[in-house]
Amino acid sequence: MPEKNASSFDIFGLMSEEKPEQVSPDEEKKKRRQELLQPTGVKEIFKDGKVSINKFTCVGVQCKYCVKACPTNALYWSNGEVGIIEDLCVYCGACVLNCMVDDCIKVERTRKEGTVEKFSKPRDVIALVNKVNAKKRGDRVKGIFPSAESYCTKCCGPNFYEDFKRKADK
């Protein structure tokens, strides 16, 4: 029997009428990113995003803080400048938070529900984190006390809210 070599054709594949599974570029990108991110243990939270570094304002040779802060190794130092592996970026903002130059690194990201967030300064990241945390706290409180009435009833007893309303209406 003749041995198979590298130039052999997949004759059965060529005869098949089945079309290869169509995968959209977005799905392909998502799959590639999942495979690359899997060893880092970092999960994707955002639907989409972009990151850029202004190489003219970067003082990388003195700091490289962004490279050290990046949780996925999306940033690296090569040939005297910071490089980006875009497929590894999860748009977390750790690089912006650690950069010593305002507006040097720019991150734009879209949340799953469609909210777009942009930041390029450490204080932008801190403000955003505070806003997100405040919303989470608010949502948690709403989950436990959906209304002012339920809050008063749970905290101060069943008659408190009615008494309070009666006094307020007077």
Q: Check binding of 92 to ligand SF4 (CB under 6 A).
A: yes
**Segment lying near ligand SF4 (by CB under 6 A), choices 93-101, 117-125, 131-139, 144-152:** 93-101
Q: At closest approach, how far in Å is the CB of 136 from ligand SF4?
A: 20
**Segment lying near ligand SF4 (by CB under 6 A), choices 17-25, 97-105, 123-131, 156-164:** 97-105
Q: Check binding of 65 to ligand SF4 (CB under 6 A).
A: yes
- Sequence-separated (6 or more) residues with CB below 8 Å from residue 23: 31
Select the residue interacting with ligand SF4 from 37, 46, 72, 161 (CB under 6 A): 72
* Calpha distance 69→66 (Å, rounded): 5
Q: Which is nearer to ligand SF4, 104 or 152 (CB)?
A: 104
Q: Which is nearer to ligand SF4, 66 or 152 (CB)?
A: 66
* Neighbour-count burial of 80, counting CB atoms closer than 10 A to its CB (0-12 exposed, 13-18 middle, 19+ buried): exposed
Q: Check binding of 119 to ligand SF4 (CB under 6 A).
A: no
* Calpha distance 149→58 (Å, rounded): 54
Phi/psi at 36 (5° precision): -70, -35
The bridge status of strand 116-119 relative to strand 105-110 is antiparallel
Q: What is the crossing angle of helices 160-169 and 148-156, to 10°? A: 120
Select the residue interacting with ligand SF4 from 37, 46, 75, 117 (CB under 6 A): 75
* Calpha distance 121→114 (Å, rounded): 22
Q: Please give the residue ranges that form the binding site for ligand SF4 (CB under 6 A).
A: 51, 53, 58-60, 63-66, 69-70, 72, 74-75, 82, 89-95, 98-101, 104-105, 107
